[in-house]
Amino acid sequence: MGKVTLTVKKAKNLQTIQLHKPYWCDKYSVKVNGENADLRITRKWKKGDVIELNLDMRPRLVEANPLVEEAKNQVAVMRGPIVYCLEGQDIQGDCRISDIALPADIQLKEVAMTIEGHSFTALEGDAIVTNNKTWDNQTLYRELSKPSSQKVRIRLIPYYAWDNRGIQDMSLWLNLAR
């Protein structure tokens, strides 16, 4: 949950407080001084009243408009308003980012992580290896190989945290396996 706490400092002439639920939030709860409330709160306010807004921050896959040709059959991962990305070192085994796809029903688990002293929530789940053949630098084309059903563990980090662990591949838009 994304928790927002507001404390009333001055209550003179204050009658209504209207909170906003962001578009990305499916579930939320509001409490005033520990009691359930709604997004629009009309009451006699006093100094020290506390409003808590809890926003569901579940991970979800998002797709681009079909007019964005470069992102066709790809998805980005968001948790609340935060966009996530995949760095090469966060793929288990010897796979490249371009060789994996996220299942449409991927289950992403929130895990605590720290990079360079900064703590945040990372997401872990099982992706699918779509290509387990390597290319040599002499071949421009080859016959399409059978799809793989091999799974690989991945970790996604917030986009703002990438490029802090050395030079490596990174992608925000990831292939989708339907």
Q: If you average pLDDT over every residue of the chain, what do you get? A: 92
CA 40 from centroid of its chain's CA atoms: 28
Closest Cα partner for 96 from 144, 129, 53? 129
Percent of the chain with pLDDT over 90: 77
Residue found under tokens 């053949």: 133
Contact 33, 49 (CB under 8 A): yes
Closest Cα partner for 54 from 96, 14, 26? 26
The pTM assigned to this predicted structure is 0.86
Closest Cα partner for 92 from 145, 156, 141, 137? 156
Residue 1: band (very low, low, confident or very high) from pLDDT cuts 50, 70, 90: low
State the SS3 of 6-36: EECCCCCCCCEEECCCCCCCCCEEEEECCEE
What is the model's pLDDT at position 42? Answer: 96
Residue 95: band (very low, low, confident or very high) from pLDDT cuts 50, 70, 90: confident
Contact 157, 90 (CB under 8 A): yes
In this model, does residue 86 exceed pLDDT 90?
Answer: yes
Contact 58, 106 (CB under 8 A): no
What is the model's pLDDT at position 2? Answer: 87
Average pLDDT over residues 112-132: 92
Closest Cα partner for 175 from 132, 127, 137, 142? 127
Closest Cα partner for 110 from 159, 162, 160, 57? 57
Work out the burial of residue 101: count CB atoms within 10 Å of its CB; fewer than 13 is exposed, 13-18 middle, 19 or more buried: buried
Start-to-end CA distance of the chain, whole Å, equals 28
